Amino acid sequence: MRDPKIIVALDYPDAAGALDLVVQLEPALCRLKVGMELFTAAGPRLVEQLMQRGFEIFLDLKFHDIPNTVAQACKAAAALGVWMVNVHALGGRRMMEVAREGLSAYPRAPRLIAVTVLTSMSQEDLTGLGMKDSPADLVLRLAKLAQDSGMDGVVCSAQEAALLRRQCGDKFCLVTPGIRLANGVADDQSRVMTPRIAMEQGADYLVIGRPVTRAADPLQALNEMIRQAGDRV
């Protein structure tokens, strides 16, 4: 059974832009991520259209609310048929546990993961929030909480992947944004890494946006990502 390791982030303001890109990609090579901007603009209908084209969808809405509200949102995502959905670990143990319980009735429930620390956040950003932890320490603390709360894995920077792999084990899923080609630019990400190193550090899935979506030839850029990631993909 195929298990593409690259997730292309559809960071578009509307369905038209996303669909223009998707027709240039192949489901056998990647999955797709639909985030807040696109989902707010285009809604479940776009997700259904993407799945009809053969793509599996990571619904990246970072649910963070009272436990029952988050559980109901996760159930709605399961009913939609997405492959993966996420919550924010800062919502706490009870919120994550109730989200897990909400998916228990679905025989083909989506993978449920938690966001730890956004890859755009630096030490300075955390200090400004009154947090004394380093990004790596906070990521580890939240990842362990997520694992104890029944999450399948976490979203983390590839820079923390090796640490989490050691501390959380081989079965804990690590989804890593902030992936750039070896000759690429960081854009607005503070903690970035190349595909090959990210996989070597223990990442399971690589979230890649602009290096593919803004490329002159998106399929060629995707294949280059796969080449750089090596035989792990």
Weakest mean pLDDT among 21-35, 111-125, 144-158:
111-125
Q: Is residue 98 part of a domain?
A: yes
Looking at residue 232, its pLDDT comes to 55
pLDDT digits (tens, 9 = 90+) for 5-22: 999 999 999 999 999 999
Q: Is 24 annotated as ligand-binding? A: no
Residue 133 annotated in ligand binding: no
- Name the residues annotated as catalytic: 60, 62, 65
Range of the domain at 221: 6-232
pTM of the predicted model as reported, rounded to 2 decimal places: 0.91
Tell whether residue 66 is among the known ligand binding residues: yes
Q: pLDDT, tens digit, for every residue of 154-213?
A: 998 888 899 999 999 999 999 998 887 766 544 444 445 788 889 999 999 999 999 999
Say if residue 211 carries a ligand binding annotation. no
Q: CA end-to-end span of the chain, whole Å?
A: 13
Asked if residue 115 lies in contact with residue 91, where contact means CB atoms within 8 angstroms, the answer is no
Interatomic CA distance for residues 108 and 216, integer angstroms? 37
93-102 helix and 67-80 helix, angle to the nearest 10 degrees:
30
pLDDT bucket at 120, cuts 50 / 70 / 90? confident
Q: Is 10 flagged in the annotation as binding?
A: no
Q: 73: domain CATH number?
A: 3.20.20.70
Q: Does any domain span residue 1?
A: no
Distance CA 136, CA 10 (A): 27
Instruction: Provide the domain count of the chain.
Output: 1
